[in-house]
Structures are given as structure tokens and as C-alpha cells.
């Protein structure tokens, strides 16, 4: 199963009763294991949590801390990019050259990297004097 297929499969589990906008994400860890996540909305926070954050949380819960590939999929006219918070999380766990595939359910694909999604990332290097 490809990373996009893993994201597509978990997207169906998204809990999006307010926006009806389901997003699925999958990350491949350094070990090769694939972890996936979907967006989850609630009445107090209708925009919900992001699919990418869920996939990263699953990876970390399994004891892994480095991702090597990312895929995100949604039913939209153009590929959906991760939000700012998820971009920072991706940068925390993946190198700047990690491939990110952004896809639509009807087959449009945009390939980029974590570094291109988040130029000027805040990193541990900024805290070396702390």
C-alpha cells in the first residue's frame, strides 16, 4: 500500500460533522513503519485537530521520532497543504528535504518538501544559548 493509499484509507474515519471536510494523512517513520491520522472536530473546536498531527502522534506513541515521507489527501479541487501548526510539527520530526505528497481524491498531486512548506522554520538551533 502506498503512503497516499494509507492516507486515503484513514480519511474515511475522519470525524467532521461541522465542516464535512475529511482529511487523511500518513507518515513513514525512519523504521519504514507507516502511521496514519485523520482530522477530528468537536463542538468547542469545530476546525478540529489536523490529520498530520494525528499521524505524528501515532508515530511518537509507537516510540519513533523521525519521519521520512508524508502524504495528505482531501476531497478538494486542489491539493490541501498542512496548516501552519502541522508544518511546524512536520519540521520537528522530519528533515527539510523530506518529500511531502499533497493529493486530492480525484487524483491531483502536488509534491513538495517540508523545507518548502516551512521556510525559516524555528528549530532547536535557535535555542542553543538557552
Go through 91-123 and write b for each residue having 16 or more CB atoms within 10 A of its CB, e for each that does not: bbbbeeebebbbbbeeeeeeeebbbebbeebee
Q: Which residue in 36, 38, 81 sits closest to 61, CA to CA? A: 36
Active site residue 52: yes
Q: Which residue is catalytic, options 12, 47, 52, 69?
A: 52
8 Å CB contact between 103 and 71: yes
Positions annotated as catalytic residues are 52
Amino acid at each position: 500500500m502506498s503512503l497516499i493509499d494509507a492516507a486515503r484509507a484513514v480519511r474515511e474515519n475522519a470525524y467532521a460533522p461541522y465542516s464535512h471536510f475529511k482529511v487523511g494523512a500518513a507518515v513513514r517513520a525512519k523504521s519504514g513503519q507507516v502511521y496514519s491520522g485523520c482530522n477530528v472536530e468537536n463542538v468547542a473546536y469545530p476546525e478540529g485537530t489536523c490529520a498530520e498531527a494525528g499521524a505524528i502522534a501515532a508515530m511518537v506513541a509507537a516510540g519513533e521520532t523521525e519521519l521520512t515521507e508524508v502524504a495528505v489527501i482531501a476531497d478538494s479541487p486542489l491539493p490541501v497543504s498542512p496548516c501552519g501548526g502541522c508544518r511546524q510539527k512536520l519540521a520537528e520530526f522530519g528533515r527539510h528535504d523530506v518529500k511531502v505528497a499533497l493529493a486530492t481524491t480525484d487524483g491531483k498531486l502536488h509534491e513538495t518538501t517540508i523545507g518548502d512548506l516551512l521556510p525559516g522554520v524555528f528549530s532547536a538551533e535557535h535555542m542553543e544559548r538557552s
